[in-house]
Amino acid sequence: MKWGRAKSPQDAGAALLTVLIVVAGLSAIAVSALADMRRDQRLSANAQSTAQAQWFAIGAEGYARVMAEDLVSGALPRTALAGPPRTGAFPLEQGMMQVAVRDASTCVNANSVVSGAGDIYQRDEAGVVQVIALMEMQGLSSAKSNELADALVGWIDTAGGVVGAEDAAYAALSPPYLSGSEPLSEFSELRAIRGFTSDVLAKLRPWLCVLPGVGPSRINLNALTPEQAPVLVAMSGGKITQTQARDLLRRRPTTGWQSLGEALSDPAIAAAGIDQRALQALTLDTQYLGIDVIVTHSDAEAAMSGLMVRGGGSFVIAARRWTEDR
């Protein structure tokens, strides 16, 4: 018969302590795993809510399309988008969608400083004059305005048919980068151009925009309000005053001018000697529709801005970005 040594209280305590340590370790692992699972579930739910909010935002383009069709058909007057954007609020399951549609051709196009196509772009003096006039009206000196306009032209144009002719100035920066050598696609690209500081852009943003197309800006006379007189003054290259521009817009018929001849026969325009190419670029119909959408869905929020361009008898989506238009 074998006899074992009786376990002392110290041995029993050590065993209990070991068990408790193992249980505590397993509990910590379980808690950590459960926290990871909950975090993954929240991330998955947030991703689903964000995706759903983005799909709702894309659906808001349908609201803009209806308005675009009404503009093309004549169901809405030509002055329908003069003033604040047309807005709509739509309740959603677990959220809300807010849509704003505006005429995006009531500004001076930064791409107007060049003309051309493909890979060949060169300085367009009529467009340069418009941009300089706009800058001077916003308090920039003549010298600074000319400097900025030259930098903008240099960023886009392909001087002498050479792409990247202005690269040396930007390659010397830290970090170095290359010039665009093509028209701008977004307003934010201006930040990369020499001289376009945050202060300068803040002054220009309400009046300067980036739209497809080059050459003198295609400004919709029937969408301008008297408060937007600086745009009309810039179009003229500074040849009419803000007072003349405001008075002209106040004299516009309620349903808008029906022909450019009718609009341009106004004494303020006819006697100003405005560049003919600048006048020919004017329009009386909406050519660009800006769309701004904010969707809240569950705990997610999606902001979308877009641009629709008129082509033939309809509008098509030209740009869509998942941020507000800034």
Domain contains 132: no
Q: How high is the mean pLDDT of the chain?
A: 86
Domain contains 62: yes
Please answer whether residues 251 and 189 qualify as being in contact, where contact means their C-beta atoms are separated by less than 8 angstroms: no
83: left (phi over 0), alpha (psi -120 to 50) or beta: left
Q: In angstroms, rounded to a whole number, what is the distance separating the alpha carbons of residues 301 and 323?
A: 11
Percentage of the chain exceeding pLDDT 90? 49
Query: In the block, which residue shows the tokens 């093509």?
Result: 182
Out of 41-55, 190-204, 223-237, 249-263, least confident range: 41-55
Greatest mean pLDDT range, 94-98, 113-117, 175-179:
113-117
Domain contains 93: yes
pLDDT number for residue 43: 53
Domain contains 54: yes
Q: What is the mean pLDDT of residues 175-180?
A: 87
Out of 35-49, 185-199, 240-254, least confident range: 35-49
Measuring CA to CA, which residue among 59, 61, 80, 85 is closest to residue 70?
80
Domain contains 53: yes
pLDDT number for residue 123: 94
Domain containing 314: what range? 45-105+287-321
DSSP characters for 109-127? EGGGGEEEETTEEEE-HHH
Number of domains making up the chain: 1
Out of 41-45, 79-83, 201-205, least confident range: 41-45
- Provide the CA 25 distance to its chain's centre, in angstroms: 53
The first and second tokens of residue 185, run together, are: 């696609």
Q: In angstroms, rounded to a whole number, what is the distance separating the alpha carbons of residues 92 and 296?
A: 9
Domain contains 67: yes
Domain contains 99: yes
- Provide the CA 272 distance to its chain's centre, in angstroms: 33
pLDDT number for residue 4: 52
> What backbone torsions phi and psi does residue 123 show, to the nearest 5 degrees?
-55, 135
For the cut 70, the answer to whether the pLDDT of residue 176 exceeds it is: yes
* Beta-ladder partners of 108: 208
Give the ranges where 139-259 is alpha helix by DSSP (H).
142-156, 167-171, 198-204, 229-235, 242-250
Reported as a single tens digit per residue, the pLDDT across 215-266 is 999 999 999 999 999 999 999 999 999 999 999 999 999 999 999 989 888 8
pLDDT number for residue 68: 86
* Beta-ladder partners of 209: 109
Q: In angstroms, rounded to a whole number, what is the distance separating the alpha carbons of residues 200 and 110?
A: 14
Residue 69 sits in a domain whose CATH number is: 3.30.1300.30
Assign 325 a pLDDT band (cuts: 50, 70, 90).
low
Domain contains 80: yes
Q: How does DSSP classify residue 108?
A: E
Assign 299 a pLDDT band (cuts: 50, 70, 90).
confident
For the cut 60, the answer to whether the pLDDT of residue 40 exceeds it is: no
